[in-house]
Structure 1
Amino acid sequence: MALSLDLTAEKPRPSPAPRAAQAEKPSLIGLSRPEMAEALIGAGIVPERQAKMRVQQLWHWLYVRGVSDFAEMFNISKDLRATLAKHFTIARPEIVEEQISNDGTRKWLFRFPPRGAGRPVEIETVYIPEEGRGTLCISSQVGCTLTCSFCHTGTQKLVRNLTAEEILAQLLTARDRLGDFPDRDTPDGAIVPAEGRKVSNIVMMGMGEPLYNFEEVKKALLIASDGDGLSLSKRRITLSTSGVVPEIARTGEEIGVMLAISLHATNDDLRDLLVPINKKFPLKDLIAACRGYPGLSNARRITFEYVMLKDVNDSLDDAKALVQLLKGIPAKINLIPFNPWPGTNYQCSDWETIEKFADYINNAGYASPIRTPRGRDILAACGQLKSESERLKKHERLALEAMMIAGHGD
C-alpha cells in the first residue's frame, strides 16, 4: 500500500520554515561563486577583499553540510549570520505532500514561492532507490510545452521555467528527507562518501524539457557536479531531451553530462504524433546531433528511451528499424513499459512482445534493459508526473467562473 506521510511527524533531519513562509528575499542557492561574491559585496555585507573567503565558507555550508539556516553556520560570527539572514534566504521549498510507493519509490510535491508578480507554483520530484544506487528524477519546468501524446506531464500547460535555485532545491530537500547530508553535530570536515550516498545519481527527466531552460539547468548541474560541494560525478548525471537539436552540442560542451534522448519512434510520421517537437527537429537532424555529441564514446554512450506502446511502435519491424536508425552510435536503448495514467488512450505492450523486442536489439549488439516500472501506485513512474494541485486549481477556477456567470445572469 502506498503511503502519504504526515510531514509533521519526525524526519531524518529537522528543517526550518520553508521559504514560502518567509519574507521574499533573494536566495544564495543556485548562484555561481562569482555571482555569490557579487551579491555579498553588493549588499554591503563583506568588502571585496574578503568575498572569496566568505564564498568558500558559504559554499561548504550550503553544499557539503547541507544547512538551510544561516544560524547553523558555526564558524561565521553571530553578527554576520544575522546580517546574512536579513538580506538573503537559503530556505527549502514547502513540501506539500510526500508519498512512498509500495516499492520504496518516493514522490514529493514541492511548492515554490511567487516570482515577481507571479503566483506560487508546484512541481513533482521522484526518488528511486535501487541496489547500490539511488536516483533522483528532477524537474526543470512547471508543466511542459511539448504535449507528447503518451506523457501525463504534457497535458499540463507550461507555467514557467524553474530557476537554478529551484532545480537545486529539489536535490537539497531530497537529501534532507533521506538523511543524506553529514550529521550537523559531527565535525566540520565530515563528508558523506560517494559510495554511501542515498542520492548517487540524478536525472533531468521530471516535469519539463530541460533544454528549453538551458541556462538555469546548466547553472544547477555545474553546481551539483562541483567537486568542492555536492560533488556528483558528471557520469552520474543524465539530461534527457525530447530532441531540442540546437542545444544538444552545447549540453556536451558546456555541461558535460550524460545524454538521453526521448526517442519512442523510428520514423517521422509516428514521432510527429508521439513527440510533436519532431515536426520542428526531425529525426535526421536529431540523429546527426547525437552522432556529433561531444565526448561520445563506448564509455560515454547515449541512452535512447523507447516507451513500449501496444500495437503502435512495438513490432519486430520497429525493432529492426531502431537498430538501423542508431547504427554506429555508441548507445544503450532503454525499453520503458508504458505507465498508464487517467485519461490516456494508450496501452502497454504485452510482456512477451517487449521481451522479443529486447532480444532482437540485444542480438544486434545494443544493451537494451527493460526498465522496471517504479512508483506506479503513486503516479511516480516515467511519464506520469503532473501536479494534482494544478488540475484541482483549474477545476476550482472553472467552477468559480460558472458561479460568477450565474450570478451576473440574476
Structure 2
Amino acid sequence: MPVTTLDPAPTLALEGGSANREPLIGLSRAALAERLRTLGVPERQIRMRLSQLWSWLYVRGLTDFAGMTDIASALRTELAERFTLARPEIVTEQVSVDGTRKWLLRLSDGKEVETVYIPEADRGTLCISSQVGCTLTCSFCYTGTQHLVRNLTASEIVGQIMLARDRLGDWPGAVADDPRGIPDAERKITNVVLMGMGEPLYNFDNVRDSCLVAADGEGLSISKRRITMSTSGVVPEIPRWGEEAGTMLAISLHAVRDELRNQLVPINKKWPIRELLDACRAYPGLSNAKRITFEYVMLKGVNDSVADAKALVRLLAKIPAKINLIPFNPWPGAPYECSDWEQIEKFAEIVNRAGYASPVRSPRGRDIMAACGQLKSASIKQRASERLAS
C-alpha cells in the first residue's frame, strides 16, 4: 500500500458562520441541559430533549440539526442559530503503507493539530492531541520543538474523535469513503490514547471533560479502560486524574536515573523519578486488572543497556505495570538514533523475566511522520518553506 495524501473531505468547521456559534460537541450533560434552558425549553422537557440531542450527537453522529427529526422544528431552528456541530477542518489526510492515517486539522481560530488513527485486525486506536504545540521540551520528541500555542477546548478534543468517526465510517449505517486498512469490525475506533501533541495534565479540566463525554455509555461509549492518558510526570495532578477521570494511565518514563531523565524529560527537574513513582503507587484503582503503562523509548547508547533494564525492574517494584518499549522514531535534526534490534530484545528479555509484560511497540506510520514522538503541526514548516520560495 503506497503512501497517499488524500484530498480533504468537506467539513463544517469554518462554514456557515459557525465560528460565531457555540460548539455543542464536548459539553457535559449538565452544560448541555443548561443550554436548552437558555432556549426556553420547559424544565419538564429538559431530560427528554437532552436524551434526544445526546443520541443524535454521539450515537448517530449527526452534523446538521435539520436531521434531528424527533425534535420540534422551531427548537431545531433555534439550535442551528445559536450552536454548531462543526468538526475541525481537515487540512491534509495521509495514509501510510501500513494503513495508519494522519490528519492535520485546522481549528476555528486557524491553529492546527495532528491526530493519528492506527488500525489493527481486531481494533483501532485513535491518538489525539490536547494542546497546540507543547509546553515541555522532551529532547527525543519532535512535538517538543514546537512551542506551546494554547490548550485545546473540550469541544476540540472530542471533535477529533467525531471527525475520525466521520472519516472512518464509524457511525451506524455509515461507510468510509476510503476503506483501505480500516478493520472489518463493528467499531472502527475501540481505543483512544491521549498521546498526541501536548501534555494532557497541563490542560486538566478540558481533557477530563472530554474523556467523560467519550466514556458516556449512552453516547460514544468508549470504556474508561480503553482510554489512556499519557503524562510526562505532572505529579500533583496524577491522583486527581484517577479520582475525577478514572481512565488508564501511562507514564512517559524513558530513563531510570534522574541525571539522564533531566535531559530527556526536563519536567523531571521539578518532579524527580521517586516522586513520580510514589504518585503512581498511590494511583486510585491501581490493581493487576488496571495496570499503569510505562513508556520507554529505546535510544542507542543512551538508555538501552542491560544495567538500565535491571534498574528499570527495580524501580517499578510493587507497581502493577506494563512496560512499552518504543523504538525511537527519527525526525529531522533528531539528536538520537534508535537502539539496535538485538539490544532491544536483550532489554525486553530482562524485563519479561522479571514478570512484566514488555511488548516492543511496532513503529507505525513512520513514512508519514505519524509514529510516536513525530507529531508536529506540519503546516508550520510548509508555510516557512513557501515564504522562502516566494
User: Which interval holds the TM-score relative to the shorter structure?
Assistant: over 0.9
Paired position in structure 2 for 1:80: 75
- Counterpart of 2:14, as a letter, is A
State the Cα deviation string for residues 203-250 of structure 1 (Å, max 9, x = none). 000000000000000000001000111111111110000000011001
> Is 1:91 the equivalent of 2:80?
no
Written as runs of structure 1 = structure 2, the 5 A alignment for 1:201-216 is: 201-216=191-206
State the Cα deviation string for residues 170-211 of structure 1 (Å, max 9, x = none). 0011011111111279xxxxxxxxx72010000000000000
- Counterpart of 1:20, as a letter, is L
> Identity of aligned pairs, percent?
66
Measure, in 2, the Cα distance between the counterparts of 1:2 and 1:276: 35
> Is 1:60 the equivalent of 2:55?
yes
> Is 1:32 the equivalent of 2:28?
yes
Written as runs of structure 1 = structure 2, the 5 A alignment for 1:366-377 is: 366-377=356-367
TM-score scaled to structure 2, two decimals?
0.94
Aligned residues: 378
Measure, in 2, the Cα distance between the counterparts of 1:380 and 1:271: 24
Paired position in structure 2 for 1:384: 374
Paired position in structure 2 for 1:192: none
> Is 1:21 the equivalent of 2:21?
no
- Output the aligned Cα RMSD: 1.7
Match of 1:348 among 335, 338, 345: 338
State the Cα deviation string for residues 16-47 of structure 1 (Å, max 9, x = none). x42222312001111111111111222x3423
Measure, in 1, the Cα distance between the counterparts of 2:225 and 2:33: 29
Q: Structure 1 pair 155/125, CA: closer, same or farther in 2 (3 Å)?
A: same
Paired position in structure 1 for 2:282: 292
> Is 1:279 the equivalent of 2:290?
no
Measure, in 1, the Cα distance between the counterparts of 2:331 and 2:160: 24
Paired position in structure 2 for 1:408: none
Measure, in 1, the Cα distance between the counterparts of 2:385 and 2:147: 14
Measure, in 1, the Cα distance between the counterparts of 2:383 and 2:204: 29
Written as runs of structure 1 = structure 2, the 5 A alignment for 1:235-314 is: 235-314=225-304
In the alignment, is the contact (CA less than 8 A) between 1:45 and 1:84 conserved in 2? no
Measure, in 2, the Cα distance between the counterparts of 1:393 and 1:18: 24
Paired position in structure 2 for 1:188: none
State the Cα deviation string for residues 313-364 of structure 1 (Å, max 9, x = none). 0000000110011011110000000000011110000000000000011011
In the alignment, is the contact (CA less than 8 A) between 1:333 and 1:369 conserved in 2? yes
Q: Structure 1 pair 260/108, CA: closer, same or farther in 2 (3 Å)?
A: same
SS in structure 1 of the partner of residue 92 of structure 2: strand
Q: C-alpha displacement at 1:164, in angstroms?
A: 0.5
SS in structure 2 of the partner of residue 335 of structure 1: strand
- Counterpart of 1:321, as a letter, is A
Paired position in structure 2 for 1:231: 221
SS in structure 2 of the partner of residue 65 of structure 1: coil
Structure 1 residue ranges without an equivalent (≥5): 9-14, 115-119, 186-194, 404-410
Q: C-alpha displacement at 1:394, in angstroms?
A: 5.3
Structure 2 residue ranges without an equivalent (≥5): 176-184
TM-score scaled to structure 1, two decimals?
0.89
- Which of these two proteins has the greater Rg computed from alpha carbons? 1
Measure, in 2, the Cα distance between the counterparts of 1:45 and 1:162: 30
Paired position in structure 2 for 1:4: 5
Measure, in 2, the Cα distance between the counterparts of 1:145 and 1:395: 25
Q: C-alpha displacement at 1:285, in angstroms?
A: 0.4
Measure, in 2, the Cα distance between the counterparts of 1:102 and 1:355: 25
- Counterpart of 1:28, as a letter, is L
SS in structure 2 of the partner of residue 102 of structure 1: coil
State the Cα deviation string for residues 51-109 of structure 1 (Å, max 9, x = none). 22211111000001111111111111222212110111011111111000000000011
> Is 1:329 the equivalent of 2:324?
no
